[in-house]
Amino acid sequence: MKQYIVIGCGRFGSSVAKTLYKMGHDVLAIDGNEEIVQHISDEVTHAVQADATDEHALRTLGIRNFDVAVITIGSNIQASIMATLIVKDLGVKYVVAKAQNDMHAKVLYKIGADRVVFPERDMGTRVAHNLVSTNILDYIELAPDYSIMEISALEAWSGKTLLEINVRAKYGVNIMAIKQGDLINVSPNAKDRISRGDVLVVIGHNNDLKKIQE
Ligand code: ADP
């Protein structure tokens, strides 16, 4: 069990904080707005009202003892940069920060953020992929050229084994998992058979993944 601090509990931050807490982790949620703090207090370990740009306040909260800090202040770039700098300075080992644009991300990396996320942009990409192709159910970009996709099994694959459909040779992608309703097979082997309605989780180069969709 790790200890997380989430700074800035807007829509994205509160979702991160509540999810971590539901997963059984210790979560300290910090926001400058008292009402927001009240609102989230039942769904995290502790919720505190504090200004994330106030080093003294963050120090008093014992922030250096936490494993991970997630800075999700988005709209106020200056506050996001200052909060990232402070938590890094106080010694939090892993800092994830939300950026609004590429320049903001660059600054966050320069001052020591370990990971920068762009929730709106990333979700936009996923939604667009889901819209364009009817058999793509979900999409995660791993690296600029590689992704993981959830696709509906093609009609032609029903009743066939993974060996028979041989997507690795035909498309150059790997099947990581097969979902049948609520059941999921996370280590499928060559003899496993695909049924109509199955969902496949595939990983590969974007160009190869595109071929499956065509
Ligand atoms: P979202 O788009 O995810 O809702 P916002 O940037 O709108 O993100 O939300 C940011 C949250 O961060 C708000 O709840 C706001 O009160 C909080 N916040 C902004 N600046 C500070 C600060 N200096 N200290 C603490 N919390 C802050």
Establish if 21 belongs to a structural domain.
yes
SS3 134: coil
Instruction: Say which CATH number the domain at 78 has.
Output: 3.40.50.720
What spacing in Å lies between the alpha carbon of 125 and ligand 1's midpoint?
24
Domain coverage including residue 176: 130-212
- The total number of structural domains in the chain stands at 2
Residues 17 and 112 in one domain: yes
Q: Is the CB of 8 under 6 A from ligand 1?
A: yes
Q: Is the CB of 36 under 6 A from ligand 1?
A: yes
Atom of ligand 1 nearest to the CA of 12: 3
How far apart CA 30 and CA 52 sit, in angstroms, is 8
Residues 138 and 167 in one domain: yes
Residues 108 and 146 in one domain: no
Is 0.95 topped by the overall pTM?
Answer: no
DSSP 50-103: --TT-HHHHHHTTGGG-SEEEE---S-HHHHHHHHHHHHHTT-SEEEEE-SSHH
Q: Is the CB of 201 under 6 A from ligand 1?
A: no
Q: Give 10-residue mean pLDDT values along the chain (214 residues).
A: 94 95 96 97 97 96 94 93 96 96 96 94 82 75 88 91 92 93 92 93 92 77
Question: Both tokens of residue 207?
Answer: 């160009």
How far apart CA 119 and CA 190 sit, in angstroms, is 36
Establish if 186 belongs to a structural domain.
yes
Establish if 31 belongs to a structural domain.
yes
Establish if 125 belongs to a structural domain.
no
Polymer length of the chain: 214
**Helix pair angle (77-89, 102-110), 10° resolution:** 20
Establish if 189 belongs to a structural domain.
yes
Tens-place pLDDT, residues 200-213: 999 999 999 888 87
Catalogue the long-range contacts made by 130-133 (C-beta closer than 8 Å, 24 or more residues apart): 133/213
Q: Is the CB of 54 under 6 A from ligand 1?
A: no
Spatial contact of 52 and 63, defined as CB atoms under 8 Å apart:
no
Residues 76 and 149 in one domain: no
Residues 39 and 62 in one domain: yes
Indicate which residue's Cα is closest to atom 8 of ligand 1. 10
Residues 82 and 159 in one domain: no
What spacing in Å lies between the alpha carbon of 9 and ligand 1's midpoint?
6
Instruction: Say which CATH number the domain at 152 has.
Output: 3.30.70.1450
Tens-place pLDDT, residues 161-203: 999 999 999 999 999 999 998 899 999 999 999 999 999 999 9
Establish if 94 belongs to a structural domain.
yes
DSSP 154: P
